């Protein structure tokens, strides 16, 4: 437990030390997110925040130097490729197919390294597909969610906090260390990224956070729970970014647009602002939803298997109601 606390504070301190320096560097070299028609900010904002998050996560995990082998090295190598790809995309927009290819290759490498979905009641080829789908999906979900000040960093903090709690409760040392590093890095960055943000994490940060949380979700194990229940827990923790991605994808497909290449203000946050909320209020409401989903995941863990499934179904029904109201009944896509 002492090491986990050290990892958390090391990541926190690293972000606090590196972010102001990278902010000044971004202004000096012109690494900025400039205002555009579909963007909310009205002045250029530095885009190197993701570099601070990357260094915070990787340097804090060096405290696990005695465990730097096997799966942990695979995760750190994958995180490096993902973050570098995001950084290149921030500097000069990459084609979506290139980013997708890198993510699939990294996910395949993780599978080969032992980080994989392992549902014994499914054929192995389906586990392979689920691993790739989960890794690529969650990685991009946090990238898509990074559309309002403090949103992606704050929600990543909540998800990492619940993952840390669950991993500690199950005695999973390395998984809890990964979660603690993300918790410290994202909480520290939130200080600079909350509305009005003085720096953005960019794709290098949002893709990294999504990738790391996806890895944690796969590695988290609940030996006392049947596998047909335990897999619901990480999905519940990450349900807000998952639902946001599904909502945007459904909305754009319904309107005959490519969900991978079509920008728009059809995310949960944009819809809440369109309903009259301020940016800050919309973000805090999404935080509250993330907290409730984390509590639902805790309920699934503590309840009987049947009650756990019932909790998961309740979350799905609420989400279906929101989807119906925003898309099918209203007939609008944002």
200-240 pLDDT tens trace = 999 999 999 999 999 999 999 898 888 778 889 999 999 99
- Pairwise CA distance, residues 322 & 306, whole Å: 25
Task: Give yes or no for residue 135 having a pLDDT over 80.
Answer: yes
Span 178-194, mean pLDDT? Answer: 96
Task: Give yes or no for residue 292 having a pLDDT over 70.
Answer: yes
DSSP string, 156-212: HHHHHHHHHHHHHHTT-HHHHHHHHHHHHHHHHHHHHHSSSPSS--HHHHHHHHHHH
Weakest mean pLDDT among 73-87, 140-154, 221-235 = 221-235
Which pLDDT belongs to residue 125? 92
If phi over 0 gives left and psi between -120 and 50 gives alpha, with beta otherwise, what is residue 276? left
Residue of higher predicted confidence among 41 and 237: 237
Q: Give 33's Cβ-side CA count (13 Å radius).
A: 27
Radius of gyration (C-alpha) of the chain in whole angstroms: 19
Which pLDDT belongs to residue 40? 63
Res. 334 pLDDT band, cuts 50 70 90: very low
Task: Give yes or no for residue 332 having a pLDDT over 60.
Answer: no
* Residue 115 token pair: 């980080």
* Residue 137 token pair: 């999906």
Nearest to 319 by CA among 236, 256, 259: 236
* Residue 98 token pair: 């290139």
Write the pLDDT tens digit of every residue in 241-267.
Answer: 999 999 999 988 888 887 777 777 889
Span 13-32, mean pLDDT? Answer: 95
Which pLDDT belongs to residue 333? 42
Which pLDDT belongs to residue 114? 86
- The domain limits of the chain are 2-329
Span 164-188, mean pLDDT? Answer: 94
Q: Model's pTM, two decimal places?
A: 0.93
Nearest to 56 by CA among 126, 7, 105, 125: 7
- Pairwise CA distance, residues 189 & 15, whole Å: 6
Mean pLDDT of the chain: 90
Write the pLDDT tens digit of every residue in 304-324.
Answer: 888 989 999 999 999 999 999
111: part of which helix (H) or strand (E)? Answer: helix 96-112
- Pairwise CA distance, residues 152 & 201, whole Å: 9
* Residue 45 token pair: 């904002």
Task: Give yes or no for residue 330 having a pLDDT over 60.
Answer: no
């Amino acid at each position: 437990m002492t090491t986990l606390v050290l990892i958390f504070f090391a990541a926190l301190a690293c972000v606090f030390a590196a972010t102001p320096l990278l902010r000044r560097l971004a202004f000096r070299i012109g690494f900025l997110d400039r205002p555009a028609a579909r963007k909310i900010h009205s002045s250029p904002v530095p885009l190197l925040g993701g570099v601070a998050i990357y260094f915070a996560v990787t340097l804090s995990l060096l405290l696990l130097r005695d465990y730097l082998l096997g799966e942990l090295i695979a995760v750190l190598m994958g995180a490096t490729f993902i973050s570098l790809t995001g950084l290149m995309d921030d500097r000069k927009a990459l084609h979506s197919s290139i980013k997708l290819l890198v993510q699939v290759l990294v996910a395949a490498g993780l599978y080969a390294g032992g980080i994989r979905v392992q549902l014994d009641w499914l054929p192995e080829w389906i586990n392979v597909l689920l691993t790739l789908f989960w890794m690529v999906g969650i990685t991009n979900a946090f990238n898509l969610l990074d559309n309002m000040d403090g949103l992606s960093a704050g929600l990543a903090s909540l998800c990492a906090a619940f993952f840390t709690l669950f991993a500690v409760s199950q005695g999973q040392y390395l998984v809890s260390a990964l979660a603690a590093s993300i918790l410290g890095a994202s909480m520290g960055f939130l200080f600079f990224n909350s509305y009005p943000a003085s720096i953005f994490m960019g794709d290098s940060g949002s893709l990294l956070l999504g990738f790391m949380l996806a890895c944690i979700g796969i590695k988290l194990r609940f030996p006392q729970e049947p596998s047909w229940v335990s897999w619901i827990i990480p999905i519940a923790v990450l349900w807000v970014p998952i639902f946001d991605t599904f909502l945007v994808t459904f909305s754009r497909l319904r309107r005959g647009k490519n969900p991978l290449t079509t920008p728009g203000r059809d995310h949960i946050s944009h819809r809440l602002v369109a309903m009259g909320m301020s940016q800050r209020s919309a973000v805090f409401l999404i935080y509250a939803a993330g907290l409730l989903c984390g509590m639902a995941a805790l309920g699934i863990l503590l309840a009987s298997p049947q009650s756990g499934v019932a909790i998961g179904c309740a979350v799905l029904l609420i989400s279906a109601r929101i989807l119906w109201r925003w898309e099918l009944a209203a007939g609008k896509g944002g």
